[in-house]
Amino acid sequence: MTIQDLKSQNLILFEAISGSRSFGLNTPTSDTDIKGVYYLPKDKFFGLDYIPQVANETNDEVYYEIGRFVELLIKNNPNILEILASPEDCILYQHPLMKKLRIEDFLSKLCKDSFAGYAVTQIKKARGLNKKIVNPLPKEKKSLLDFCYVLEDYKTVSVLEFLAANNFKQEQIGLVDLPNSKGMFAMFYDPEKSLGYKGIIQKETSNEVSLSSIPKNEKWIGYLSFNQDGYSKYCKEYTEYWSWIEKRNEDRYNTNQQHGKNYDSKNMMHTIRLLQTAEQILSTGKLNIRVPNREELLDIKAGNRAYDDLLEMADNLIASIESHYQTSTLPERPDEAKAIQTLIKIREELYS
């Protein structure tokens, strides 16, 4: 089912401009995002072809089936609550039945976790991006050998340095486990290549060291330590970094590079906005998504604030949210039974 199908079959119940334009944060280059609600034809709803969501290819137009919409409202999902709270000038179409879903029936203390919790996740994401920008990883991936060290007296040296100093080849090394010692191995060397040693690694892409069968009376040449945890962490960071490089939004990245603050400024703007929204809900019991501090938020988006200052701002908002949570008169959670009864009545009228 496509958005065009929804429209041609008159299945749309609600349609509104969302995102920056609904928040009052749009600029001349802002996209126009559309969010909406629909219901399924009777045969699809009562059959096996239930479709909870329909979107276009770029995901800037997303429509939710009425049941899925109510389910997410009950969970106080920020995106869904913001759709229901769309300003009048952003609503493109509203079926009369949608007026049965009132924002005040859904706002609850769950917003502390749904709005602020999501914002905290975004802060962690921003910190991770900060790390990626400040600490770029070379395209050439390190080998497992870069995480192996040889014990020499009271210190360790890189196995690559050890091999070069002794004119050894890693392929002619044999390793055996040292009992009761994680990541420690005894090393043997086969100068004639006649003992069938497997080397420290068999391939450049190996994730583990290789173990060999060592004949009796062979003389060990030293002890090798493999930092497997360090290698695993590096592989994860390498994969994440180059995946980010491949998928990143170049316009946003270039903006971040230009302002030189080493963070995703658009991400941080929305993080602060989410926290301010959570504070508004818990302190007033209402949700007005049109922001009163447009210039402040756009200043953050432009990268005019220091990264540490924004983190301090976020911490202060989180503390305020916790304080308002304690005194809020909102219910702990929405009245699920009432919401379901409202949904049933809407469906009965739609399918009558």
pLDDT digits (tens, 9 = 90+) for 29-69: 888 999 999 999 999 999 988 999 999 998 999 999 999 99
Q: Which residues contact 328 (CB under 8 A, 6 or more apart)?
A: 109, 282, 283, 285
Please report where in the chains the tokens 């503390």 appear, as a residue: 319
Phi, psi of 133 (to 5 degrees): -70, -45
Residue 262 pLDDT: 54
Question: Mean of the per-residue pLDDT values for the chain?
Answer: 90
First to last CA, the chain: 23
In whole angstroms, give the CA distance from residue 332 to residue 74: 11
- Statement: residue 134 has pLDDT above 80: no
Length of the chain, in residues: 352
In whole angstroms, give the CA distance from residue 197 to residue 310: 56
What would the mean pLDDT of 290-314 be, rounded to a whole number?
92
Residue 185 pLDDT: 97
* pTM attached to this predicted model: 0.66
Q: Quickly state the pLDDT bin for 97 (edges 50, 70, 90).
A: very high
What would the mean pLDDT of 21-28 be, rounded to a whole number?
94
Residue 289 pLDDT: 97
Q: Quickly state the pLDDT bin for 9 (edges 50, 70, 90).
A: very high
Q: Quickly state the pLDDT bin for 153 (edges 50, 70, 90).
A: confident
Contact 221, 188 (CB under 8 A): yes
Amino acid, res. 196: G
- Statement: residue 257 has pLDDT above 60: no
What would the mean pLDDT of 160-172 be, rounded to a whole number?
96
Residue 133 pLDDT: 55
Contact 100, 346 (CB under 8 A): yes
Residue 100 pLDDT: 98
Q: Which residues contact 250 (CB under 8 A, 6 or more apart)?
A: none
What would the mean pLDDT of 187-196 be, rounded to a whole number?
95
Q: What percent of the chain clears pLDDT 90, i.e. is strictly above it?
A: 75
Residue 109 pLDDT: 97
Phi, psi of 170 (to 5 degrees): -60, -30
CA distances, 14 to each of 7, 43, 64, 88, 311 (Å): 11, 21, 10, 12, 37
Residue 125 pLDDT: 64
- Statement: residue 251 has pLDDT above 70: no
- Statement: residue 242 has pLDDT above 90: no
Residue 252 pLDDT: 47
Looking at per-residue confidence, does 120 or 303 come out higher? Answer: 303
The three state secondary structure string of the chain is CCHHHHHHCCCEEEEEEECHHHHCCCCCCCCCEEEEEECCCHHHHHCCCCCCEEECCCCCEEEEEHHHHHHHHHCCCHHHHHHHCCCHHHEEEECHHHHHCCHHHCCCCCHHHHHHHHHHHHHHHHHHHHHHHHCCCCCCCCCHHHHEEEEECCEEEEHHHHHHHHCCCHHHEEEEECCCCCCEEEEEECCCCCCCCCCCCCCCCCCCCCCCCCCCCCCEEEEEEECHHHHHHHHHHHHHHHHHHHHCCHHHHHHHHHHCCCCCHHHHHHHHHHHHHHHHHHHHCCCCCCCCCHHHHHHHHCCCCCHHHHHHHHHHHHHHHHHHHHHCCCCCCCCHHHHHHHHHHHHHHHHC
